Amino acid sequence: MHVEVVGSGRPLVLLHGWAMHGGVFAPLVEQLRRDHVLYLVDLPGHGLSTERDAIDLAHVVQRIAQVTPAAVWLGWSLGGLLAQQAALEMPWHVRGLIAVAASPRFVTAPDWDCAVSAEVFAQFGAELKRDYRGTLERFLMLEAAGSQHAQAEIRALRECVFARGEPAQMALQQGLSMLSAMDLRAELAHLTQAHLWIAGRRDKLVPWQAMQRASASTRRGSTVCIAGAGHAPFLSHAVELATLVRQFVQASDNSAPGT
């Protein structure tokens, strides 16, 4: 597993979203590297991670923990789902959780309307086999949709997606399956760490209401909604997002045992 380590200060683990790699966080890295040692993970099948095929993403959190120190984890989109799972499984290692444009359930249910239809991910999965690059392009457009700076975000995502090689199709299919199937809503009540949900007010993929509901179902959760942001606030609002991250990590350190 490829992990880029940059910066100095308190450790912070960053997990990217579907089809991307750690390089997508570049604007946020520039804001945080003076205050944090950043562990930028390329998930299996993505970026410079050498394992390309037949990756079981459902168990990847254990492997990330093996190559990173105990720290706050920040996960975006699919990475946010993984960070939630890690926080539940390994509270001694994941000392705090920041979910950016991520919720405990990405698809709708009778009691969960603040999400996208399961058919959306099923369609992406079917199209991925027929038109790999075209499907990725459509997903990038969905991620940028609604943002105050949508065109700039699409350009940034396009430049990033293949910058470290093509993501493995098997890993992409498994990632879509996770987004469709995982539901951590009931488990969130067991989170013992502080956790922050950062939403984009204009996000078309993960509505801010989903993150607000997730926070309300826990004891130590809080939500911040960034006006004007879509699904990738680290591209459009890096300064504001970095400020929220610094404040959260500082508060987490102050509330840790022995402080």
Q: What's the rounded Cα separation, in Å, for the pair 86 and 252?
A: 17
Using DSSP, state whether 203 is helix, strand or coil.
Answer: coil
Q: Each residue of 174-187: b (16+ CB within 10 Å) or e? A: bbbebbbebebbee
42 is catalytic: no
Query: Dihedral through CA 237, CA 83, CA 201, CA 160, nearest 10?
Result: 50
- Which is catalytic among the residues 77, 103, 147, 252? 77
Q: What's the rounded Cα separation, in Å, for the pair 85 and 240?
A: 26
77 is catalytic: yes
Supply angle C-alpha 164, 38, 216, rounded to 5: 105
- Which is catalytic among the residues 231, 236, 237, 252? 231
113 is catalytic: no
- Catalytic residue numbers? 77, 203, 231
